[in-house]
Amino acid sequence: AQTIHQWPVAEIKAVGSPLSLGCTIKGKSSPNLYWYWQATGGTLQQLFYSITVGQVESVVQLNLSASRPKDDQFILSTEKLLLSHSGFYLCAWSLTTNTEVFFGKGTRLTVV
Amino acid sequence: GEQVEQRPPHLSVREGDSAFITCTYTDPNSYYFFWYKQEPGASLQLLMKVFSSTEINEGQGFTVLLNKKDKRLSLNLTAAHPGDSAAYFCAVSDTGGADRLTFGKGTQLIIQP
């Protein structure tokens, strides 16, 4: 069975500090991977997607970056956090772009 | 681009009553519609995927209605029970693909005993 694991579960960070959120998918090779973000009171927005190792497409510009260093790993990061980065970050995977997407449990980020 | 408006943002109903959540969308080329449930601390769980050709879709304890003329997608939880307490999200796609999902803002549903 496939599992998706996100870390950390929650994080409180200072403005201007760096951030790294991680996601791993086990039990499925070469999945499509996605990062979604939900600001408090806002809607879920897709930030990045990746269909293969080393290849990441940006959907929304938020002064964040994403990388896929391994087939089963997706990293979201920034060198300088802004207050507006606060929110809920979800990692997700799908078999192809036309199949069901499965979500991780998310990371709650608070920037102070 | 596609915009999805979901209402209400918060809903409280008594156990045994019905709960009704609605999403309206803007893109007439949307063909795939989704309802997700998110319990506290858990992932988004797909409740139902609906294709544009089907107006009434029955699930276990709920019904999903699609009105393409009005561009409206509805979720009706019948005889709500405490396990239905969760956040519910609708999503719309023109391709059915995970790369083209547009979500509503979500509805926080509380079932009161």
pLDDT at A44 over 90: no
> Tokens standing for A87?
């929110």
> How confident is the model over B49-65, as a mean pLDDT?
85
User: Are A97 and B97 an interchain contact pair (Cβ–Cβ within 8 Å)?
Assistant: yes
Pairing of strands B72-77, B86-93: unpaired
Decide if pLDDT at B88 tops 80. yes
Residues counted in chain A: 112
- Given a cut of 70, is residue B99 above it in pLDDT? no
What's the CA angle centered on A56, arms A50 and A59, to 5 degrees? 90
CA-nearest residue to A97 within chain B is B97
User: Please, what is the average pLDDT of chain B?
Assistant: 90
B15 CA to chain A: closest CA distance, Å?
Answer: 26
Which residues in chain A have their CB less than 8 angstroms from residue B6's CB? 43
Nearest to B104 among A43, A94, A98 (CB): A43
Window from A63-77, B7-21, B63-77, B86-100 with minimum mean pLDDT: B86-100
How confident is the model over B81-110, as a mean pLDDT?
87
pLDDT of residue A10: 95
Q: Report residue B66's pLDDT band, with 50, 70 and 90 as the boundaries.
A: very high
Degrees to nearest 5, angle at CA B23 with B53 and B71? 45
Q: Which residues lie closer than 8 Å to A26 by C-beta, 6 or more apart? A: A2, A3, A4, A5, A72
Q: How far apart are CA A86 and CA B38, in angstroms?
A: 19
Tens of pLDDT, residue by residue over B2-49, are 889 999 999 999 999 999 999 999 988 888 899 999 888 788 898 998
Residues 6+ apart with CB under 8 A from B62: B47, B48, B75, B76, B77, B78
Q: Measured between alpha carbons, how far is A49 from A67 in angstroms, rounded to an integer?
A: 10
Of A34, A94, A105, the CB nearest to B43: A105
Contact call for B43 and A44, based on CB within 8 A: no
Sheet of B4-7: strands edge to edge?
Answer: B4-7, B19-25, B72-77, B62-67, B56-58
Asked if residue B59 has pLDDT above 90, the reply is no
Question: For a pLDDT cut of 90, what percent of chain A falls above it?
Answer: 74
Residue B94 has pLDDT above 90, yes or no: no
Q: Is the pLDDT of residue A99 over 90?
A: no
Helix (H, G, I), strand (E, B) or coil at B10: strand
Percent of chain B with pLDDT over 70: 96
To test the contact with chain A by mutation, choose from B7, B31, B35, B43 the residue with the greatest count of A C-beta atoms within 10 A, namely: B43
pLDDT recorded at residue B97? 65
Q: How far apart are CA B103 and CA A31, in angstroms?
A: 22
| Residues paired with residue B74 on neighbouring β-strands, in sequence order | B22, B65
Of A4, A45, A105, the CB nearest to B42: A105
Rounded to the nearest integer, the mean pLDDT of chain A is 92
